[in-house]
Amino acid sequence: MTDVETLRRILKENHTVAVVGLSAKWYRPSYFAAKYLLDHGYRVIPVNPGEEEILGQRCYPSLEAVPERVDVVDIFRRPADVPPIVESAIAIEARVVWMQIGVIHEAAAARAREAGLQVVMDRCMKIEYARLFGGLGFVGVNTGIISARRSQYLPY
């Protein structure tokens, strides 16, 4: 469990975020969270080998291909996919590994901590930013926009 002061410090001090698994589909949680971070002054770097550009930002096939310093590696992938992403985060000397809501991998988290990275697990950067710095009431969490369920109204 990450305490409030640590979350606040991470969000204040780290502004370049590589979002691994960022989707180009506007209705996906990764897209919604990345757009929110962009709108709040963060540098968002999409990492998705299947895309060229997302949210007006050049997309990279891997963390190692990103040509600039990355502070936070924000993971929107299945827990089984996390260990190699953590190894890449260590290799590029990221400061923080952030696993989104529902993404929990204790062994990978321990490996990241051993390498000196801070770890946040099972939390959303967008929600934590809104909760800790205001704005939660304006965008809401229970809007139905972010959900693990597939909408009956969207054809996907």
pLDDT score of 122 more than 50: yes
Q: What is the dihedral of CA 50, 55, 57, 62, to 10 degrees?
A: -30
Rounded Cα–Cα distance for residues 64 and 84 (Å):
12
pTM (predicted TM-score): 0.85
CATH no. for 4-139: 3.40.50.720
pLDDT score of 142 more than 50: no
Please report, as a single letter, which amino acid is at residue 93.
Answer: E
Q: What is the pLDDT of residues 15-56, one digit of tens each?
A: 999 999 999 999 999 999 999 999 999 999 999 999 999 999
To 5 degrees, how large is the angle CA 41–CA 154–CA 151? 85
Q: Tell me, what's the pLDDT at 150?
A: 54
Q: Tell me, what's the pLDDT at 138?
A: 46
Rounded Cα–Cα distance for residues 74 and 117 (Å):
13
Of residues 56, 55, 100, the one with CA closest to residue 82: 100
Q: What is the pLDDT of residues 107-121, one digit of tens each?
A: 999 999 999 999 999
Residue 74 has phi, psi (to 5 degrees) of -95, 115
